[in-house]
Amino acid sequence: MHWDFQQLQDAARQEIESVTDAHSLESFRLKYLGKKGLVADIFLSLASASAAEKGAIGKGANDLRHLVTALITDKQKKVSSQQRPGSHRIDVTMPGAVPNLGHRHILTQTTEEICQVFEKLGFVLEEGPEVETEFNNFTGLNIPIDHPSRDAFDTFYLQASDLTAKGRKLLLRSHTSPGQVRVMTAHKPPLAVIIPGRVYRPDAVDASHSFMFHQIEGLLVDKNIKFSDLKGLLTEFCRRFFGPSVKMRFRPHYFPFTEPSAEVDIAADIFKGTSRKPWLEILGCGMVNPKVFAVAGYPPGIYTGLAFGMGVERMAMLRHGIRDIRMFYENDVRFLNQF
Ligand code: PHE
């Protein structure tokens, strides 16, 4: 068989001119280099060629293959540069990808909402550190040196030493009440502050306890503050936060830094039909113990004050019907997106 290699090369060069996209380029490749393509045919014809012809046919086939390969490589660059994303027509009617918008965590929302109620009542927001001294967390609050809550069992102690007290370690505050000591040693009455923040206790974790939770401390000091002011303030707060029909009760209690002291419970409809108690404790409170005023250096007999420490998780649980405190920390978006 006779091949006109010059003519075949010219034809290939001419044909590539009309190739404009990836699809026609592939057809071109198959026509020349495919299994049943022209180059393969030429090689097949070697079988029936005379010994004299074989050399020329082999060389012709190889030259053609090299030419076609080069033409394809060259064309590929042009075709793919045409297909860069920017060179495509943009379909402006296509719906866009909606980004996932985050929002504040339910505990942040609850904290802010509680603080706002007190801010409207004239309280000022303060913050204290989570790493505290034993003095601010205990001693300054009249919690005696042998009080069980000082035990490592009920408090997370750090390896770090307290540089202000020899032999004492720093700790993770177990309540926001050290904020009382900080505020009173820095400011003279009259004062009204709320102090939100994280607190830590090595409690066994269950549906209503966690080793870390959030509290909001309240402190009001002035002349003539009475227990009825404390009751009135907290009752008004609960009505604003839970609604006017909220069922609450003050239950006598003991705290070393308030005298007298009480705890407030809210009727927990969320536990109806379960084995859980129908009341949920939300805060401890009382009249500031004069011993704490003495720590702050206030002159005796002039000021009285009220204080309370509220659990934020519990407030959110009652408000939204959440029965398990652990859900706040699992970061399951199916839970978080509900609030
Ligand atoms: N700090 C107490 C607690 O965590 C609560 C409290 C605060 C009680 C202020 C009285 C006054 O249990």
pLDDT of res. 79: 81
Which of 254, 257, 293, 315 to mutate to test ligand 1, by most ligand atoms within 8 A of the CB atom?
Answer: 257
Backbone conformation region of residue 17, classed left if phi is above 0, alpha if psi is from -120 to 50, else beta? alpha
What CATH number is attached to the domain comprising 262?
Answer: 3.30.930.10
pLDDT of res. 222: 98
Backbone conformation region of residue 64, classed left if phi is above 0, alpha if psi is from -120 to 50, else beta? alpha
pLDDT of res. 2: 82
Q: Work out which ligand 1 atom sits closest to the CA atom of 261.
A: 10
Strands (DSSP E) contained in the chain are: 124-125, 131-132, 157-161, 169-172, 191-200, 212-222, 248-255, 258-267, 279-288, 304-311
Q: Is 287 helix (H, G, I), strand (E, B) or coil?
A: strand
- Identify the CA nearest to 178 among candidates 111, 128, 230, 124: 128
* Domain shared by 75 and 111, yes or no: no
**How far is C-alpha 72 from the geometric centre of its chain's CA atoms?**
53
* Domain shared by 240 and 303, yes or no: yes
Q: What single letter denotes the amino acid at residue 33?
A: L
**Domain stops at, among 83, 117, 145:** 83
CA dihedral of 206, 209, 211, 212, whole degrees rounded to 10: 130
pLDDT of res. 309: 97
Any atom of ligand 1 within 6 Å of the Cβ of 309: yes
Residue 123 lies in a domain: yes
* Domain shared by 38 and 130, yes or no: no
* Domain shared by 113 and 193, yes or no: yes
Q: Is the peptide bond before 260 cis (omega within 30 degrees of 0)?
A: yes
pLDDT of res. 88: 66
Residue 96 lies in a domain: no
**Domain stops at, among 68, 83, 98:** 83
* Domain shared by 78 and 157, yes or no: no
* Domain shared by 69 and 153, yes or no: no
Residue 266 lies in a domain: yes
pLDDT of res. 82: 66
Any atom of ligand 1 within 6 Å of the Cβ of 136: no
* Domain shared by 266 and 126, yes or no: yes
* Domain shared by 162 and 43, yes or no: no
* Domain shared by 237 and 127, yes or no: yes
* Domain shared by 33 and 146, yes or no: no
Give the phi and the psi of residue 208 in degrees, each rounded to 5.
-125, 10
**How far is C-alpha 254 from the geometric centre of its chain's CA atoms?**
36
Any atom of ligand 1 within 6 Å of the Cβ of 289: no
* Domain encompassing residue 226: 106-336
* Domain shared by 79 and 137, yes or no: no
Q: Work out which ligand 1 atom sits closest to the CA atom of 309.
A: 7
pLDDT in tens, the chain (339 residues): 688 999 999 999 999 999 988 889 999 999 999 999 999 999 999 888 888 888 999 999 999 999 999 999 999 888 876 665 555 678 888 888 888 889 999 999 999 999 999 999 999 999 999 999 999 999 999 998 888 877 776 899 999 999 998 989 999 999 999 999 999 999 999 999 999 999 999 977 788 789 999 999 999 999 999 999 999 999 999 999 999 999 999 999 999 999 999 999 999 888 778 888 889 999 999 999 999 999 999 999 999 999 999 999 999 999 999 989 999 999 999 999 999
Q: Is the pTM of this model over 0.75?
A: no
Q: Work out which ligand 1 atom sits closest to the CA atom of 199.
A: 4
Q: What is the CA radius of gyration of the chain?
A: 40
Q: Is 84 helix (H, G, I), strand (E, B) or coil?
A: coil
pLDDT of res. 153: 67
Q: Work out which ligand 1 atom sits closest to the CA atom of 218.
A: 9
* Domain shared by 231 and 305, yes or no: yes
Q: How many domains does the chain have?
A: 2
Whether the Cβ atoms of residue 306 and residue 292 lie closer than 8 Å to each other? no
Residue 68 Cα distances to 17, 80, 203, 265, 338, angstroms: 12, 18, 78, 87, 63
Give the phi and the psi of residue 238 in degrees, each rounded to 5.
-60, -35
Residue 64 lies in a domain: yes
Residue 168 Cα distances to 135, 137, 138, 163, 247, angstroms: 9, 12, 12, 8, 44
Q: How far does residue 204's CA lie from ligand 1's centre (Å)?
A: 20
